[in-house]
Chain A
Amino acid sequence: MKSLTAQDCHQNIIEIDNVSFSYRNQKVLSDVNFAVKERDFVGIIGSNGAGKSTLMKMIVGLLPTEKGNINLFGQPIGKFKDWERIGYVPQKNNFNPLFPATVREVVLSGMYNNKSLFRRVSRAMQQQCDDALEVMRIQDIANKRIGELSGGQQQRAFLARALINHPDLLVLDEPTVGIDAQTQASFFELITHMHAHHHMTFLMVSHDLDMIEGYLGTTPKQKNGNIQFFVRHSHDLQNCDERNLEHSLSYS
C-alpha cells in the first residue's frame, strides 16, 4: 500500500536542473531545465539527433549526467534506488526477435530488479504477472515466443512488463517506431486512457507529434534547442484532497 501526504500532491517526479551533455565535443544538450510533476503526461519531441534520447537515457540512469543534476522522486539520481517505481518501455527494435523467450517470461522479468536479487520467483509474482497480462489483454498469447508476435502485441507485452510493479512513472522511448498507423493509434488510446484513469506520471520521447497532438496540444510548454516539451497536466483533479483521495482509492 502506498500513501501520499498532503504536501506530496504537487511533487516533482523528475527535476532536470541545468543539464548539459556533449558527445565528442559537440554539444547535444545545453542547460536543460524542466520539471515533470506528478501525474503529468510529458512528451519530449524532437527530430533525430536533437538530444531527446540522450536526455531520456540520463533520466533513467543509462547515461551519466556530465553537467547539472537530475532528481527522481526528490532524490539525486546517483542515490536513487527505488527503480521499481519506474516502468520503462524501450524502442521496439531493441531486442533480438529470435530470442527464445515467451511473453510470460518477458512480462515477469519486469519484476527482476535490485530488490529481487537472490529471491526466487514466488507464486505472488506469478499472480502479478497474470494480472498484468490480463490488463493488457495478452493472456492468451502468454506462452508464445515474443518474436512471433505482431508489433502491436509486442508493444503490449513491453507495456505489461513496465506496468507489472504498478510504477509511479512510466517512461516510453519512441514506443511506436515500426508499428503501423492503426496500431499506433490504438496504443496511444490505451496510454492516454491510462493517464486519465490511473495515478501515474508519463514521460514519452518521440520524433513526431502527429499521433499525440490531440492529447498534448500543439503548443510546447518549453523549448530547448531542438527539443520541445509538451505537457498535459492530470485531468480533472481540482485540489490536493481530491488527488489524495483518488490515490488512496487506486491503491487500496
Chain B
Amino acid sequence: MPLEILFSDFFQRALVGGILIGLTAPLIGIFLVLRRLSMIGDTIAHVTIAGVALGFLIEVYPLGAGLVFAVLASFAIEKLRKAYKSYAELSIAIIMSGGVALASLFFTLGMGYNTDVMSYLFGSIYTLDTTDLYVVGGVTVIVVLVISLFFKEFFVLSFEEDAASVSGLPVKLLNMLITILTALVVSTAIKIVGALLVSALLTIPVAISLLIARSFKTSVILSVVFAETAVVIGLMVAGIWNLAPGATIVLLLIAMLVITMIGKKGLPN
C-alpha cells in the first residue's frame, strides 16, 4: 500500500483544506437543513461553476470569481424567494438552471480549459495550492466567528422566524448573514468535493445528527464530528487506494447515515 502518499505535501494540504471544510460545511448546513433549504447549496454550487468557468476564460483567480458568483446567486435566491413566497423552491430551480446555462455558455466560449473546470465539478482536493488554503482558511475564520457571535439568534431564526421577529431581532440581517455564509462555504467546498457533491457535505452530516441528537447544541457538535470523520477517513482511504476523494467522502457519509439508521431501527419519530 502506498502509505507514503499520506505524508506528501499535496496530501497534507488536502487534509488541512478538508478539515476546514469539514468544520464550516455542517456548521452552516444545519441552519439550511432546519430551515428546509437543503437544496440551496446545490444551486449556489452550480452558479459558482459558472463563475469558475468565467474566471478561467478571463484569466482571473477561478475560486475568487466563483465566490463572487456564489454571493450574487445567494442574493438572487433570497430576492426570488420573497417574490414567490409560497413557492420558495421555484427560486432554487430558476437560479440553478441559470447557473448551469451560464456555465455551459462559458465552457463553449473557451474550449481549451474544460479539464480544469471539470476539476471543480467533481472536486480536486489534491490540487489545492497555498492560495486556495488561505482562501479556505479565511472563509473558515469568518464562518466560525459569525456563527459563534449569532449562534443563539440563528437558533431562534431557524426554530421559528416569527418569534425572532417579535423579539425585535434583526431578522433580515440575520437571514442575509446566513445567505452570505452559505455562498462562502459552498464556493470553497467545491474545490474539495466538487460542485456536484457539495450538498452532501452540507446536509448528510446534519441528517445523521438529527437521527440521534435531542438538543440543538448536540446536533451541531455531532454534525461537525460526522463531517470531520468522513473527511479525514475518506481522504486517507482515497489516497491509499487511489479513489476519487470527494466521492469517497460522500459515500462514507452515506454509509454512516445508513448505519445510524439501522442502529436506530428506522426513522426518527
Contacts and interface: CB of A to CB of B under 8 A. Distances in A.
B98 to A, nearest CB: 28
Interface residues of B, number: 29
A65 to B, nearest CB: 15
A83 B166 contact: yes
Interface in B166-184: 166-170
Contact of B216 (A84, A96, A105): A105
Interface residues of A, number: 35
A88 B163 contact: yes
Interface of A, secondary structure class, is loop
B162 A62 contact: yes
B248 interface: no
A98 interface: yes
A86 B159 contact: no
A249 interface: no
Contacts of A171: 166
Given A62-B162, A90-B160, A105-B155, A113 B167 contact: yes
Interface in A93-144: 94-96, 98-102, 104-106, 109-110, 112-118, 121, 143-144
A106 B153 contact: no
A101 B215 contact: yes
A113 B168 contact: yes
Contacts of A86: 166
Interface of B: 34, 36, 149-150, 152-153, 155-156, 158-160, 162-163, 165-170, 209-210, 213-219, 268
Interface of A: 60-62, 81, 83-84, 86, 88, 90, 94-96, 98-102, 104-106, 109-110, 112-118, 121, 143-145, 161, 171
